[in-house]
């Protein structure tokens, strides 16, 4: 026991120093630690992947709506990521109004060839037989027949119990209210006053036969996010998003492109000007904006100074106050 105490002072000095060194090392180690931070875009991406995987796992017959637009392009990439290295385990569905821009059809077919996704196309024959067009029917009826009815029929006939859509909450104020998993009754209608509470990332995906849901993996993305993501991921998009000369007619403050069947009103004259499309729908009802942007970078630059929201170029949204809500209640996406 005596020896024990005698030796102590020497060992004391050593262990004391050792203790100090260990602490320092530990502190240094912490400073050099890897980061656990990811960018906002990667956070949005992670959330979207979770939603897409839930959709595939919880439903029997999922389908992803595809419009050939920029949001569809992003959503398709996200679906590829969600199941990589596997294939997307559900088909894509294009509800074709037959009045899309020719470039959109070319792009859709190219994407199908290049990615090998299963692309299904649905056209509402009833509308085609009636030769539906916005000039004779008016935009409201044409849209209801070709898009809303077309979509509902496509979903019913396909027996899909969930449809993934690229809608974003930022786009429009009634969309700002919609859940990520949004319940639709037997007629495909949305009841905004009876939405299911949606907590955390726990989605209630229970539906009875005949009922269905819409799932929106891009809910929390903004237009700028979408463009930045397209830029970073080098996602192919329809060339109509880039500025070039188009023949357009100025109508109610919109630049409406002249397509194959466009009819000019008395007194209207078409002009050629450099412009691009911020969103893509049917050519008779999609306005262009004056622009010089020929690359994604230039579009993002334009966005940074943009003072108008994107849906301003969609004629159908402005038919009357709350018109989007009305269309959604009827089953529009």
In the region spanning residues 52 to 71, those forming contacts with other proteins, defined by CB under 8 A, are 53-54, 56-57
Residue number with CB closer to other proteins (60 or 321): 321
List, as one string, the DSSP characters of 153-216: HHHHHHT-SEEE----GGG-TTGGG--SEEEE-TT----GGGPPP--TT-------TT-EEEE-
Residue number with CB closer to other proteins (100 or 175): 175
Q: Which of 225, 222, 245 is nearest to 235 (CA)?
A: 225
Torsion sign, CA atoms 169, 179, 75, 101: negative
Window 20-59: contact mask with other proteins (x via CB under 8 A):
---x--x-------x-x-xxxxxx-xxx-xx--xx-xx--
Start-to-end CA span in the chain (Å): 86
Smallest distance, other proteins to C-beta of residue 233, A: 9
18 touching other proteins, by CB under 8 A: no
Smallest distance, other proteins to C-beta of residue 201, A: 7
Rounded-to-integer distance, Cα 317 and Cα 152, Å: 20
Smallest distance, other proteins to C-beta of residue 302, A: 10
User: Which of these segments, 104-112, 145-153, 265-273, 294-302, binds other proteins (CB under 8 A)?
Assistant: 294-302
Residue number with CB closer to other proteins (31 or 265): 31
Q: Which residues pair with 182 in a beta bridge?
A: 214
List the one residue from 60, 86, 114, 129 that touches other proteins (CB under 8 A): 86
User: Which of these segments, 109-117, 147-155, 172-180, 267-275, binds other proteins (CB under 8 A)?
Assistant: 172-180
Please, are residues 220 and 49 in contact by the beta-carbon 8 Å criterion?
no
Smallest distance, other proteins to C-beta of residue 67, A: 22
| 146 Cβ contact partners less than 8 Å away, ≥ 6 residues apart | 97, 98, 99, 124, 127, 132, 282
Residue number with CB closer to other proteins (40 or 102): 40
Rounded-to-integer distance, Cα 315 and Cα 134, Å: 11
Which residues 237-276 are close enough to bind other proteins by CB under 8 A?
none
Angle, helices 40-58 vs 70-83, to 10°: value is: 70
List the one residue from 14, 85, 157, 266 that touches other proteins (CB under 8 A): 85
What number of CA atoms fall less than 13 Å from residue 282's CA on the CB side?
22
Smallest distance, other proteins to C-beta of residue 68, A: 22
Rounded-to-integer distance, Cα 255 and Cα 288, Å: 5
Torsion sign, CA atoms 39, 68, 91, 139: positive
Per rule CB under 8 A, count of chain residues that contact other proteins: 77
Rounded-to-integer distance, Cα 165 and Cα 327, Å: 15
Residue number with CB closer to other proteins (153 or 179): 179
User: Which of these segments, 115-123, 156-164, 265-273, 295-303, binds other proteins (CB under 8 A)?
Assistant: 295-303
Please, are residues 181 and 204 in contact by the beta-carbon 8 Å criterion?
yes
Smallest distance, other proteins to C-beta of residue 81, A: 4
List the one residue from 10, 31, 265, 269 that touches other proteins (CB under 8 A): 10
The residue with tokens 């100074």 is 305
Which residues 298-327 are close enough to bind other proteins by CB under 8 A?
300-301, 304, 306-309, 312, 321-322, 325
Residue number with CB closer to other proteins (61 or 105): 61
Residue number with CB closer to other proteins (27 or 261): 27
């Amino acid at each position: 026991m005596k020896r024990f105490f005698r030796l102590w002072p020497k060992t004391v000095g050593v262990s004391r120093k050792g203790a100090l060194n260990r602490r320092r090392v530990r502190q240094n180690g912490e400073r050099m630690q890897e980061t656990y931070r990811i960018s906002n875009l990667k956070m949005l991406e992670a959330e979207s992947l979770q939603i897409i995987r839930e959709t595939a796992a919880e439903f029997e017959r999922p389908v992803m709506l595809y419009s050939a637009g920029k949001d569809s392009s992003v959503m398709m990439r996200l679906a590829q990521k969600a199941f990589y290295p596997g294939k997307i385990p559900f088909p894509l569905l294009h509800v074709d109004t037959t009045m899309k821009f020719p470039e959109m059809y070319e792009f859709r077919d190219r994407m199908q060839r290049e990615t090998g996704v299963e692309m299904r196309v649905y056209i509402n024959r009833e509308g085609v037989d009636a030769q539906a067009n916005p000039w004779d029917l008016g935009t409201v009826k044409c849209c209801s027949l070709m898009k809303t009815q077309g979509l509902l029929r496509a979903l019913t006939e396909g027996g899909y119990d969930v449809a993934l859509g690229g809608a974003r909450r930022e786009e429009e104020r009634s969309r700002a209210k919609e859940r990520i998993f949004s319940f639709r009754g037997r007629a495909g209608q949305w009841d905004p006053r009876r939405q299911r509470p949606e907590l955390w990332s726990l989605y209630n995906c229970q539906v009875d036969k005949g009922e269905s849901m819409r799932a929106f993996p891009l809910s929390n993305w903004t237009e700028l996010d979408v463009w930045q993501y397209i830029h970073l991921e080098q996602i192919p998009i329809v060339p109509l998003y880039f500025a070039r000369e188009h023949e357009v007619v100025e109508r109610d403050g919109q630049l409406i492109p002249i397509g194959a069947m466009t009819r000019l009103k008395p007194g209207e004259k078409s002009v050629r000007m450099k412009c691009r499309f911020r969103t893509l729908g049917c050519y008779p009802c999609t306005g262009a904006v004056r622009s010089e942007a020929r690359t994604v970078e230039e579009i993002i630059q334009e966005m940074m100074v943009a003072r108008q929201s994107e849906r301003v170029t969609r004629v159908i949204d402005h038919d009357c106050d709350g018109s989007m809500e009305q269309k959604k209640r009827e089953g529009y996406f």
